[in-house]
C-alpha cells in the first residue's frame, strides 16, 4: 500500500513563487534521492487576501520506508540547505500522513 505525506505550508503571497521554485529545485532532488516521489505541488489562490497554502504531497511504500527516507534526507547536507532557505518563507503549516482507504464491507 502506498502512503502519502502531505505538507501544507502557509506562505505570504509575495513569496509563493520563490517557495514553489525551492520545492522543485531543492526539495525534489533531495527527497527523490532519499526515496520519496513527488505526487503534487498545489497552491490556493493569492487573490483571497490571506496567506497562500502550498500543499506538497510525497509518496512512499509505507511508514517503515518513511523512516528510511527521513534518515536519508536528514543526513544529506542539501536537505539542510533547502530547509534553511524555506524557513523564512513559511508563516505556518502542517505535516500529515495519509493512507488510501477502500469502502468498508
pLDDT of residue 1: 77
Topology adopted by domain 3-98: Alpha-Beta Plaits (3.30.70)
Contacts for 39 with CB less than 8 Å, ≥ 6 apart: 4, 57, 58, 59
Dump pLDDT digits (tens) for 40-73. Answer: 999 999 999 999 999 999 999 999 999 999 999 9
**Environment class of residue 64 by beta-carbon count within 10 Å: exposed (0-12), middle (13-18) or buried (19+)?**
exposed
3 state SS of 41? strand
**% pLDDT > 90, the chain:** 98
Domain boundaries defined on the chain: 3-98
pLDDT given at position 100: 93
Instruction: Report the percentage of the chain scoring pLDDT > 70.
Output: 100
Amino acid at each position: 500500500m502506498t502512503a502519502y505525506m502531505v505538507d501544507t505550508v502557509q506562505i505570504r503571497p509575495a513569496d509563493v513563487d520563490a517557495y514553489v521554485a525551492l520545492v522543485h529545485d531543492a526539495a525534489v532532488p533531495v527527497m527523490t534521492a532519499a526515496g520519496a516521489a513527488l505526487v503534487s505541488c498545489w497552491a490556493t489562490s493569492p487573490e483571497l487576501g490571506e496567506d497562500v497554502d502550498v500543499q506538497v504531497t510525497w509518496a512512499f511504500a509505507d511508514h517503515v520506508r518513511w523512516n528510511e527516507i527521513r534518515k536519508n534526507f536528514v543526513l544529506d547536507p542539501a536537505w539542510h540547505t533547502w530547509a534553511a532557505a524555506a524557513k523564512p518563507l513559511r508563516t505556518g503549516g502542517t505535516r500529515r500522513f495519509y493512507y488510501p482507504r477502500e469502502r468498508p464491507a
